Structure 1
Amino acid sequence: MRYWLTFFILISSCLFLNNAFSADIEKGKLIFKRCSVCHNIDKPNNKVGPTLLNVIGRQAGSLKGYNFSPAMTNAGENGLMWDRENLITYLHNPRAMIKGTRMATVRLQNDDDIDDLIAYIKSASTSDQKIDDSKKNEHP
C-alpha cells in the first residue's frame, strides 16, 4: 500500500509539472514570424531556408531539393537529428553548433521561447503532409 501511495504521488507530480511547464503554441506562432522570413512551415516548398514542415525528427541536412551547406550535410551524415535538445542548442547559436552553416544568426536565448517555437512547429507539421521533391527550391 505504501508503495502505491508513493507511486501515485510521483505520477501526479509529473503530470502536474508537465502541465505547469507546457509550451505555448500561440506564442510559438508569434516567434515563428521571425523564422518565416526564410522558412515555410505550412508549405513543403523551400524559401531561402529549407521548409520546416516535419523537421522534428528529421536528419539534419537531408531534405531533398534543398542545397544545404557542406557543414549541415556533414552534421546530418554524422548523426545529427532535429530533436528538442539539438534545436535548443542550435537556436541559441547556430554557427557555434555547426561551423559553416548558412543560417542567419537568429539566436533565441530563452529556452521557454524555443520550447514554444518547437511546440508550434510540431503543431503545424503532421505526418500526412508530405514533402514533394518536385518542389525543389521553388520560392512563393
Structure 2
Amino acid sequence: MLNPLKGAIQALFFVAIWLVAQRFVTVYHLPVPAAVVGLFFVVALLLAGVVPAHHIAAGANWLLGDMLLFFIPPLMAIIQFRSLLASHGLQILAAIVLGCLTVMVGTGLIVERTLRWERSRLHGITARRGAKS
C-alpha cells in the first residue's frame, strides 16, 4: 500500500519543479510554457541520475491517476451521444477547433496588449522619476 504522505511529498516535487520552470521562463522570456520546461528539467534530472526514478514514481503515478478525472467525462459523452456524433460529428469538431483557436488567439492578443500597456506605463513612471532627479 502506498503511503499517501510519500505520494504527496513526491507530487510537491513536481510542483516545485514547475515553480522553478515558471521563474526560468519569466526571467529568460521564453515562448514556451513552464510545464514543458519543467518536463525537460525532470528528464534532465532523471538522466543525470540526480533524482532516481523510484524517488518520484509514487507522486508521478498519483498525478497521472488523477488526470483521468479530466478525460473520463468527455469519453462518456462520446459513448452516450454516438448517434449525434455520427450525424453532426464534423460540425461539432469544427466548432471545437474554431472555438479553441478563437480562445487561444483572443487570449494571446489580450495578453500582448496588456503587456504593452504595462511596459508603457512602467516606462512612463521610470521616465518621470529620471526627470525629477
Instruction: Please indicate, yes or no, whether the TM-score normalized by the shorter chain is above 0.5.
Output: no
More helix by share: 2
Choose 1 or 2 for highest CA Rg.
Answer: 2
TM-score when normalising by structure 2: 0.30
TM-score when normalising by structure 1: 0.29
Which structure ranks higher in relative contact order (CA pairs < 8 Å, sequence separation ≥ 6)? 1
